[in-house]
Structure 1
Amino acid sequence: MDAKSYAPFYRYTDKKGNPHVVWFEDVRSLAAKFQLVREMKWKGMGGWQMNFPFPQDESLLWLNFKPQ
């Protein structure tokens, strides 16, 4: 977890020796982003998902906002 961006990541090296960093979302990082939206009093936000199951996202969304 990166403390500044509050986003999880991991590093790996492929078979050719090339380093990679993969950033992703989890419940903690998504909750932090929702908190920022509320604190900044933004009127909206958007998001997308690349066919990866994340069952908590809809529950977390309804707990924080009133989606339309």
Structure 2
Amino acid sequence: MIKNYTSCTALLFLNFILMASLSFGQAKMRIVDPASGDVTITNFSPSATVDMSGWWLCNFPAYTL
């Protein structure tokens, strides 16, 4: 007898994705103003426990070593 494991695998994968998205903070850039150089980052996490005070933006290709 051949069993179809596709639905079980898909359900397991969907559960993993759902848990991963709920367990981490959801920080998003809301406003980017190139004229003044201001960026507004908002934490949309349900628990709001992610400390974003130490976060910073970088300009990766412009690094000088």
Report if TM-score (shorter chain) is over 0.5.
no
Q: Report which of the two has the higher share of strand.
A: 2
Q: Which has the larger radius of gyration?
A: 2
TM-score, normalised to structure 2's length? 0.26
